Structure 1
Amino acid sequence: MTGPVTILTHDYSWSVLKKKYGIIYGNQRKTVIGNNVFIGGGATILGGSHIGDNVIIGANSVVSGNVDSNSVYAGNPARKLMTLEEYRDKREKRQLKEAVEYVLEYKKRFKTYPPEEKMDEYFFLFKPSRIYTKYRSQLELMGNYHETLKKLSTYHTRFSSYKDFLNYCNKQEMVFSK
């Protein structure tokens, strides 16, 4: 979860009924959040909701009811945007463009390319010269360090080194400046 998230198992709406009719009608419901779920900042999970496994809930979403496993939901009310596999494919297609934009913006601001260790979200694009502390913390996320390290060693990177990646960025900068 990022930022403030509200997870409800009940609400106080019974107070209106009590004032009008003098009786308390309880309203408690089981709220279930599965494994490997990311909930964006400001989201509200209403009582009685059931979120499956491997789910991404977008920021400021309001979840009510059932959320399918292996899916991405967002909005108010939250609705299914895509499967997790579709989201992975979308992110994979955008990685290189976003990494290049990051490098070029960094260079524009600091008048130099970012050091390799600053590429903690994009180091799968190139063969890292070493596993920097930031990379290691990324690899350790979710408790599957060894599996991720193995994936990194067999993953087909587009660039043989960080220097190779920066050369590509430099060429892109020349293309953009024309």
Structure 2
Amino acid sequence: MVSFEKKYNYIYGNQRKTKIGNNVFIGWGATILGGSHVGNNVIIGANAVVSGIVEDNSVYAGNPAKKIMSLADFKAKREKRQLSEAKAYVREYKLRFGVIPPESKLTEYFFLFKKNDDVKTFHEMLTLMGNYENSVKELEVHKPAFNNYEEFIDYCLKD
């Protein structure tokens, strides 16, 4: 293996200030190179290699990392897919274990069937990211797609 320092018999310093903003998710295996500035409210995809400036409210992926969409576009994409993914999860769970999943197994989907006055089961999930109060406020204005868990399960299991 060739080493730059070994070849030239001298060590050159290479320190650059790197900044990572607030509310940033860095996917597994991603590399943030020295001197990079990652904004606030950013998602960095798995195995991405980030160099330079990453805009606020955005999603980056790839090598080199490029902006693939805004965070608002990502939210819309997730909203659009949430119900079909929940349905697939319920069906696979039933196929695998022979029973309908309990509500506690649907921690990522409870917004589909829970009202704001009935979230005790998901208290831990609401506090996970340190924004419990904001999540509870969202639940106050949020209208679930289903009236209750049973209605949600019926939808998931019908052909």
Scaled by the length of structure 1, what TM-score is found?
0.82
Q: State yes or no: 1:92 paired with 2:90.
A: no
Residue 110 of structure 1: how far off its partner (Å):
1.2
Residue 151 of structure 2 is aligned with which of 160, 164, 170? 164
Measured against aligned partners, the alpha-carbon deviations of 1:109-154 in whole angstroms (never above 9, x if no partner) come to 1111101111100000012584244x11111122221221121132
Find the counterpart in structure 2 of residue 30 from structure 1. Answer: 17
- Contact 1:117–1:132 (CA under 8 A) maintained in structure 2: no
What residue is the counterpart of 2:131 in the other structure?
144
Question: The residue matched to 1:73 in structure 2 has which SS?
Answer: strand
Tell me how far apart the structure 1 counterparts of residues 82 and 75 of structure 2 sit (CA, whole Å).
11
In structure 2, stretches of 5+ residues that fail to align are none
Give the corresponding residue for 2:57. 70
- Partner SS for 1:72: strand
Q: Number of aligned pairs?
A: 157
Cα distance, 1:22 vs. partner?
Answer: 4.4
Residue 147 to residue 21, structure 1, CA distance change in 2 (3 Å) = closer
Identity, % of aligned positions:
62
- Give the distance between the partners of 1:82 and 1:106, measured in 2 at CA: 32
Q: Secondary structure, in 3 states, of the residue corresponding to 2:111?
A: helix
- Whole-angstrom CA distance in 1 between matches of 2:34 and 2:25: 18
User: Which consecutive residues of structure 1, in runs of 5 or more, have no partner in the other structure?
Assistant: 1-14
When structure 1 is superposed on structure 2, of 66-75 and 143-152 the one drifting more is 143-152
* Superposition deviation, residue 23 in structure 1: 4.2
Match of 1:115 among 91, 102, 123: 102
Cα distance, 1:98 vs structure 2: 0.2
> Matches of 2:28 and 2:12 in 1, distance apart?
31
Q: Distance in 2 between matches of 1:107 and 1:95?
A: 18
RMSD: 1.8
State the 1:21 CA deviation: 4.2
